[in-house]
Structure 1
């Protein structure tokens, strides 16, 4: 009634007449038919009961003159009206969520392939033609990214499910476009499922019916100036997208990377590739791809230029580089040079940039110099370590090193050891990258005193080696080393009949060489491949007025094979012998021993082999070892923890041919924790056929696998 009054008042009628109307008048009585037929005319003439004369009003009404005083108006609230209290609505029993079980009515489609990803999530695929060709991969990717999947059975409720269902619906639509289905449709249904006969036990469930529609294909493909490259044909093959192929946006990303890598690995040092643009044409059901490529010419390597010639000259850096002047430019080799300079540990920062020296002309490539900008690192290092082992006793070790005292890369290291079983003082000169990448010259002078369960020896020695090493940065299929050794050693020697003999002095000179063939996939934690190492060392020894000549040799082989997703089977074998001299002519420190963490686990260091009457190992002239272990991943700690059962065997013989008279077996279990620098190893071994003096268990901790 108030609304009608307001409308009428705005049309010119007086509110006073409305107040005087009887309270019982109906709306039809107040508004005559003439007002309905012509509201404007009726409003201007008024009604017989409502017109107020000018005399009664006391003045002429003027539309331009405002009313000075508003008339009094009041409407009384009806006191005798009682409103019923609000009553909450009870849900009707026949209204419920749409059931999505196979035996319940469906909202979407009857003939649908259904994949139940969890108790809370169902995917339906009603489209039969054309077939959804990428369905399996599509479902796997959706399952990995779904927010509903994160809930898991029993954790969901309707509110959570509804919120996550909207996100998953957007995810499905995005994935459809990724696979080239630009007209796809996703129908979302949220319902319940019965967990049992009890109707109160119902849990929410969401279903998506995915209708991909037609899959779009590539129309025009524009790669800019790629055709101007000398190797345009080969480069175009590296971008494996052709007209008519099914459109898939993440494939574009992959192929762009492949093309960029091909350009960088075939000489195009300054090539540029713009971000791809995809124009979808719904009428043609195609997408036109534009990705501008600017090859900018092909180049070969020139010189290496250093910004600090006195520290690391360009000539020396060229020996580190894995290219020669005139080789076709490769971006990976440029990055490798940067890593190799960093690996010297002589610089704090380094940057390598290609710089054009000679521009390309026609089919002739240009030349780029490698500009190396670096800052010197702190070159002096003081280090120390304190440790204890049941076999080594207490051990304190310290060293001082200047890593570039003799540029380039000539280091000097002073080291010392003080312990209950070993004391040592030594000086080492080392020249890295001498004559080529990872070729190292080492000269070492030391004096030591060692007391083990097999022997004690006071030794002064000079050794020198030149080797090509395999490193974590550049693992090589072939590593080798050659060297020489001169030493004088005064040692305890108990051999004949177990009767202690006086200390005996040996003067020894040796030449040696070793080589390793390595096809494994890692130095610290291999999972496949093999390694084969051979060592030969012709040696002469003078003691007690006699000269002895003999040949020390050793062969090691190891094999690694992945089984399934988490298990690696590893095996190794070792054979060593000393040919040409009787045992008395060989210093105890040069003989063969077995036992310990890198040999037969469960036994002490050097504890396996022939012994004298005092149960001291005497060493031998032949050795055989074998080990087998399974490195089983547990999946714990993000896959970092592995369990390793193992079994080892070893034998040491006095003769040059093994007689297996003193063969020992050990078995146990270990754990490995993988870190960024290799696995940490903890092995617990038990001797299976111990001697009375052997410990009941052996514990070994180290970095890296046992072999």
Structure 2
């Protein structure tokens, strides 16, 4: 056996051997290197014998074979035992070599390439049974008689049991999966099979989760990724995925543990709100919805401090059931004792109590506290509101305790300066400005000073408004102003004091029933418009009125209704005195509108108006108190107040009756993400000199408008033309405003 140490020594000292000058010295060198190891010498000899001889020429260096004497080959052990200095022979002295002396080159080694090279066979990998790649088009038919194929998209299909009993939520399941699928969301024309396979793995995990949502914990899913043929050539294939699902048995609810809920006084009704029972089919959606229902029921039946923890579902595969536990702590039942403001000088406890929709000792309801928070927000006086129940007395002997609702207020900016500059073809230039303090007279007493300077109108006024006065959403308003108004129908210089007390809808609280009552005290000097530059004499009118109105509203929006109707009426008995003559009459008006959504893109809307002023002749009624028609909120296509009888000078004189009608189609477009709508319309209207409506001279206008839904309300631009214009009517009219025409 050849030791590897001998071979290494041979390699290390080969250069030294090649530098030997004679066979005798070389032999002595070998003896010195391998002294005491005959076997090593023999091995070295055998190895060296295999090295091809160098070229035999005089100048060639000695080879390793030349360095080994015959005696060493014949009897290596005896040769090695003789030692280096036999018979007193002196050890030969090796010559010193200069550092720059080149090293002898070793003979080259060569190895012939084998005729036959055997390579071990490749080891086969285990097949993943969960994924298969198909080179052929996937079949579009079920794999068995009790399975059906649901096509989710052009590249994704799902195979499910066809029997409703085996998988009753098939439609809901497919819709839910489609909305969350990575394949559906990220599909593209340049998609490769590798990309599709990666998304298929994600969708398989999604399917597993969705199946567990419905209680299928033992479902089997097989995904197949391949290419569906899309052309005549064999290579014309589009990547596609199919999931084959065997839902298995649907698990059911086992034990139901609702913590300390049974300690509540009205446990039976609370337990009914959590409708899950033992044996019901398992559903995570049902757990979420019933937990929420229980939480709402506790909050609405007097449990302000109730705690409903996160549900825990323990799955038992052996029983095919899941034990559900929801930690519930009712923490006592309470009544509402009072409301406490964090800033009584700003909004008092009494005022907040008047806003609230509950009285003292009413049962606590979470919805009532939410409503109170919204009502305080609607005042516009605060930037944030919190309503927190605080225990006043604890429940004892089966009797409810009491809580105080602490209302935390953060003041908003109370002063507002506003202004607007505009121009209209009918109104000319108009500049408006106002200053308002919304809580100058706490609580909610606002003062507003306003002014208007324009081509046709000038006004200065002061308004006092008290919100939530005498009850929730009731507003008292007192308005005093001086104004001049120069319109195409009349020129009026007026001073007025107007008061109203109303219950009206707001953007936060749209009410089905609204009403108002009030008074008007007006002194006005009025005259007809100038004719040929010649001013007409003014008549002075003193008017006292007691207006009242009511509005019944079932629509779904104040600014942009899509369904429902509105029915409103106004009744105003008035006394007018002019030129020493006193007249009594009643101004009445009825308005009705209807809205119907035909589909997601079309809303049809229509309105009618009837008005009448019986009791006094037209000349005894101030021109500013008569009826007029025409304009953006009346009959579009005509100028403001341009429809109706005219005096001898050709100016509109107004009338004692009005009838109007309008219909329009509000059609959504795909522009600006559906915010832009096109609205064709047709309007009609007539003004009569008598209390009975006059249908003899009806004016028609038609046109088209656009609406842009700003989120706050639609911005309206209407362009109308008169269909049967009078001699003084313009050929086209344009109207711009916020909100629909009606």
Q: TM-score range by the shorter chain?
A: 0.7 to 0.9
Distance 1:58 1:229, change over 3 A: farther
> Which residue does 1:325 correspond to in 2?
360
Q: Give 3-state SS (helix, strand or coil) of 1:426's partner.
A: strand
2:501 & 2:516 partners in 1: Cα distance? 6
**Deviation by residue 1:232-252 (Cα, 9 ceiling, x = unmatched):** 222222222222221111221
Determine helix, strand or coil for the equivalent of 1:99: coil
- What is the rounded CA distance, in whole Å, between the counterparts of 2:262 and 2:190 in structure 1? 57
* 2:683 aligns with one of 648, 654, 672: 648
- Asked if the contact 2:663/2:681 (under 8 Å) is kept, the reply is yes
Query: Residues 146 and 162 of structure 2 are in contact (CA less than 8 Å); yes or no, is this contact kept in structure 1?
Result: no
Equivalent residues of 1:493, 1:504 under 8 A apart: no
CA distance in 1, matches of 2:82, 2:322: 83
Partners of 1:352 and 1:373 within 8 A in 2: yes
CA distance in 1, matches of 2:605, 2:415: 40
CA 1:551 to 1:128, structure 2 compared with 1: closer, same or farther past 3 Å? closer
**Alpha-carbon distance in structure 2 between the residues aligned to 1:79 and 1:446:** 119
Report the CA distance shift for 1:337/1:19 in structure 2 as closer, same or farther (over 3 A): farther
Q: CA deviation at 1:555?
A: 1.0
Alpha-carbon distance in structure 1 between the residues aligned to 2:620 and 2:252: 82
User: Could you tell me which of 504, 508, 511 is aligned with 2:543?
Assistant: 508
Structure 2 residue corresponding to 1:381, chosen from 416, 429, 434: 416
- Which structure 2 residues correspond to residues 384-463 of structure 1 after superposition, within 5 A? 384-463=419-498
The Cα shift of 1:20 comes to 5.9
Q: Note the alpha carbon deviations across 1:48-100, whole angstroms, 9 max, x for none.
A: x9xx97996999xxxxxxxxxxxxx999465889999xxxxxxxxxx994333
CA offsets 1:197-230 (integer angstroms, 9 cap, x no match)? 1334321111111221111111111111112222
Q: Aligned to 1:315, what secondary structure does the other structure show?
A: helix
Cα RMSD for the two superposed structures: 3.4
* TM-aligned CA distance change 1:346 to 1:129, over 3 Å: closer
Quickly say closer, same or farther: Cα 1:425–1:199, change in 2 above 3 A: same
Which of 172, 180, 183 is 1:137 aligned to? 172
Distance 1:348 1:289, change over 3 A: same
Residues in 1 aligned to 2:430 and 2:409: alpha-carbon distance in whole angstroms: 39
User: Which residue of 2 is the match for residue 31 of structure 1?
Assistant: none
Give me the whole-angstrom Cα distance separating, in 1, the residues matched to 2:367 and 2:110: 90
Deviations 1:602-645 (A, max 9, x none): 22211211123443211111011112223333354444333333
Q: Which of 627, 631, 642 is the matching residue for 1:607?
A: 642
Provide the secondary structure at the position in 2 that maps to 1:148: helix
Rounded Cα–Cα distance in structure 1 between residues aligned with 2:577 and 2:193: 90
Contact 1:495 1:618 in 2 (8 A): no
2:326 alignment partner, SS class: strand
User: How far off its partner does 1:530 sit?
Assistant: 1.8
Answer yes or no: is 1:174 the counterpart of 2:209. Answer: yes
Show the counterpart of 2:255: 220
Q: 2:418 & 2:220 partners in 1: Cα distance?
A: 66
Distance 1:572 1:530 in 2: 9
Do the aligned partners of 1:126 and 1:209 also contact (CA within 8 Å) in 2?
Answer: no
Q: Tell me which moved more, 264-273 or 513-522.
A: 513-522
Distance 1:82 1:346, change over 3 A: farther
Name which of 313, 322, 332 aligns with 1:278.
Answer: 313
Map of 1:99 onto structure 2: 136
Where 2:195 maps in the other structure, the secondary structure is helix
Match of 1:205 among 240, 258, 263: 240
Q: What CA distance in whole angstroms lies between the structure 1 residues aligned with 2:628 and 2:81?
A: 133
Deviation at 1:150, TM superposition (A): 2.3
- The alpha carbon displacement at 1:387 in A equals 1.1
Shift of 1:574: 1.1
Structure 1 counterpart of 2:23 = none
State how 1:475-514 maps to structure 2 within 5 Å: 475-493=510-528, 501-514=536-549
Normalised to the residue count of structure 1, the TM-score between the two structures is 0.85
What TM-score do you get using the length of structure 2 for normalisation? Answer: 0.81
How many pairs were matched up?
649
Counterparts in 2 of 1:174 and 1:475: CA distance versus 1, 3 Å: same
How many Å separate the matches in 2 of 1:624 and 1:58?
146
Deviates more, 1:434-443 or 1:640-649: 640-649
The offset of 1:421, in angstroms, is: 1.1
Q: 1:676 offset after TM fit, Å?
A: 3.1
Contact 1:265 1:332 in 2 (8 A): yes
Residue 337 of structure 1, CA deviation: 1.2
Out of 540, 557, 578, which is 2:613 matched to?
Answer: 578
Residues 116 and 123 of structure 1 are in contact (CA less than 8 Å); yes or no, is this contact kept in structure 2? yes
Which of 314, 317, 340 aligns to 2:349? It is 314
* Aligned twin of 1:630: 665
How far is the alpha carbon of 1:123 from its aligned partner?
1.4
Bigger CA drift: 222-231 or 119-128?
A: 119-128
Change (3 A) 1:160 1:18: farther
- Please state whether the residue corresponding to 1:623 is helix, strand or coil: strand
CA contact (8 A) 2:258 2:326 kept: yes
SS of the aligned residue for 2:183 comes to: coil
String of CA shifts for 1:307-335, please: whole Å, max 9, x gaps: 22222110111111111111111111111
The answer on whether the counterparts of 1:495 and 1:584 sit within 8 Å (CA) in structure 2 is no
Q: CA deviation at 1:577?
A: 0.8
Match of 2:382 in 1: 347
* Partner Cα distance (2:657, 2:227) in 1: 75
Aligned equivalents of 2:456 and 2:629: distance in 1?
A: 19
Cα deviation for residue 16 of structure 1 reads 6.2
Q: 2:24 corresponds to which residue?
A: none
* CA separation of 1:130 and 1:592: change in aligned 2, threshold 3 A: closer
Contact residue 133 and residue 225 of structure 2 kept, 8 A: no
Q: What's the offset of the Cα at 1:494?
A: 6.9
User: What are the ranges of 5 or more consecutive residues in structure 2 without an aligned counterpart?
Assistant: 9-38, 53-72, 84-105, 118-131
Could you tell me how far apart the structure 2 residues matched to 1:206 and 1:128 are?
23
The answer to whether the aligner puts 1:531 opposite 2:566 as a matched pair is: yes
1:138 Cα offset (Å): 0.5
Post-superposition offset of 1:495:
13
Task: Tell me the distance in 1 between the aligned counterparts of 2:579 and 2:44.
Answer: 144
Map of 2:555 onto structure 1: 520
Measured in 2, the distance between the counterparts of 1:158 and 1:610 equals 79
1:163 aligns with 2:163: no
- Residue of structure 1 in register with 2:62 after alignment: none
Contact 1:98 1:190 in 2 (8 A): no
Q: Secondary structure at the match of 1:681?
A: strand
With 463-472 and 643-652 compared, the bigger mean Cα shift is at 643-652
User: 1:109–1:126: 8 Å Cα contact kept in structure 2?
Assistant: no
Alpha-carbon distance in 2 for matches of 1:613, 1:192: 87
Match of 1:300 in 2: 335
